[in-house]
Amino acid sequence: MRDVVIAGYLRTALSRSRPTEPARDWFCKMRADELLAKLLPEVIQRTGVKAEEIDDFLVGCAVAVGEQWGYGGRIPIFMANLPKTIPAKFVDQQCGSSMAGIQIGFMEIAMNFADTVLVGGMEHMTRVPMGMTQVERGLISPNMGLFLDPALSHWDMMTSMNMGLTAEKLVDQTKFSREEMDEWGVRSHRLAVQARSEGFFDGEILPVDAEQADGSVLKVAADQAVRDDATIESMRALKPAFKKNGVITPGNSSPLNAGATAMVLMSKEAARKKGIRPLATLRSIGFAGVDPTIMGAGPVPASRRALEAAKLAAADIDFWEINEAFCVVALNCIRELGIDPEKVNVMGGGTAIGHALGATGIRLVGTLARILNARGGRYGLANACVGGGQGVATIIEKETYDW
């Protein structure tokens, strides 16, 4: 197995999506494929590879219906005017989609079937909302037998397809308090604000000129959902979003977002030959299935598998990026794996930065690699829960690349 490195990483800022108030989304007049098409040539150029040298392209997206249909991943390539010789795959593992892209690229390179792989992720939750609206419009039509057949009723699809309800159920089982989750949410915003003010994100965000609802053009260079004014008091005041007397609120879950992410993976030898200094080396990957009604539990077994495969213990990991689809997911992971919370989401997490479903996997791994570089540290683990009851995890290692 060959060593595989992260040679480049770039993303757009994440705008905040509100399907019912589209005008407030900074990216309301841009499609996700347009955002991605802006990123791809730029990440290729900044990494220092030639587009012609790319052996494969993997693009992740969670709601690949309507305008996010990708023609097997070729549409972003065409939109970005990249060489026709780049093959593509469209990867759907829901919120794990672009991490799955990284994992497939990792294996292609590790097994010597490719030298350079481009990975992308995209999601626009204003223009292509998730959930019931798409079901009602027929763009998503799950088999009604799943909902109605007594032999299948134990899947409880009404809960399984509603992320908020799965989070409520996870809280029921884990007994985390509303207060603990709200505090984690405030922490997420505080750390993200701090990282932003230190200019940390400038190294990974490609500013994009975006036409606004009123026709003006805004240079979008920072994440729209990060709040400077998040306090525990304001969090406490929020009403439950998914059920009466529930505990999941907009303050302790990720917002809806739009954005795109991109990453270049290479074999270590190829990077060395070209004199490209990697961000980190991909060490291990993990994936696991869990009860879909508590999909937020998924990162725990997925991380364990990744750790086992790399013969590492949780304590060996210096920094964690745990996707805060809901704060309870991170809290549960910390408790189950015995993680030091101070090592988790140190630049803020999904609650603040956002979670543009299909784009998130690359954001987690890319940001983690940059954290290892910025803060010093050897191992990092990024994981995410996945709708439908899964978890994905990726372990990276910061090495010295002496070329």
CA angle 324, 56, 303 (to 5 degrees): 30
Size, binding site for other proteins by CB under 8 A: 23
Rounded to an integer, what distance in angstroms lies between the CA atom of residue 167 and that of residue 175? 12
User: Smaller CB distance to other proteins: residue 18 or 304?
Assistant: 18
Q: Considering only residues 136, 149, 198, 202, which one is a binding residue for other proteins as defined by CB under 8 A?
A: 136
Query: Which 3 state secondary structure label does DSSP give 231?
Result: coil
Residue 138 or 199 with smaller CB distance to other proteins: 138
Integer CA distances (angstroms), 310 to 131, 230, 335, in order = 36, 38, 21
From CA 235, how far away is CA 178, in angstroms rounded?
10
Q: Which is nearer to other proteins, 16 or 187 (CB)?
A: 16
> Rounded to whole angstroms, how far apart are CA atoms 303 and 316?
13
Q: Tell me: does residue 16 bind other proteins (CB under 8 A).
A: no
Site string for other proteins, 29-58 (x = CB under 8 A): xxx--x------------------------
**Is 286 strand, coil or helix?**
strand
Handedness of CA 338, 344, 349, 351 (dihedral sign): positive
Cβ closest to other proteins, residue 21 vs residue 202: 21
Please name the amino acid found at residue 398: K
Q: Determine, following the binding rule CB under 8 A, whether residue 129 of this chain makes contact with other proteins.
A: yes
Supply φ then ψ for residue 9, to 5 degrees: -150, 135
Residue 66 or 87: the one with the smaller Cβ distance to other proteins is 66
Tell me how far, at minimum, the Cβ of 74 lies from other proteins, in Å. Answer: 17
Burial of residue 44 (number of CB atoms within 10 Å: 0-12, 13-18, 19+): buried
95: annotated active-site residue: yes
93 vs 126 by CB, closer to other proteins: 126
Contact indicator for 61, 97 with CB cutoff of 8 Å: yes
The region of 1-9, 13-21, 80-88, 255-263 touching other proteins under the rule CB under 8 A is 13-21
**Token match 């595989």: residue?**
4
Per-residue DSSP letter, 61: -
- The contact pattern for other proteins, residues 211-250, with x = CB under 8 A and - = no contact, is x-x-------------------------------------
In the complex, the smallest distance separating the C-beta of residue 262 from other proteins, rounded to whole angstroms, is 19
**Segment interacting with other proteins (CB under 8 A) among 135-143, 174-182, 280-288, 373-381:** 135-143
The alpha carbon dihedral of 138, 141, 145, 146 has a sign of negative
Catalytic: which of 61, 95, 327, 333?
A: 95
Q: Is 355 a catalytic residue?
A: yes
Question: Which of 19, 207, 250, 377 contacts other proteins by CB under 8 A?
Answer: 19
Q: Are 188 and 349 in contact (CB under 8 A)?
A: yes
Q: Which of 93, 126, 159, 162 touches other proteins by CB under 8 A?
A: 126
Residues that bind other proteins (CB under 8 A): 19-23, 28-31, 34, 66-67, 126-129, 132-133, 136-138, 211, 213
Residues tagged active-site: 95, 355, 385
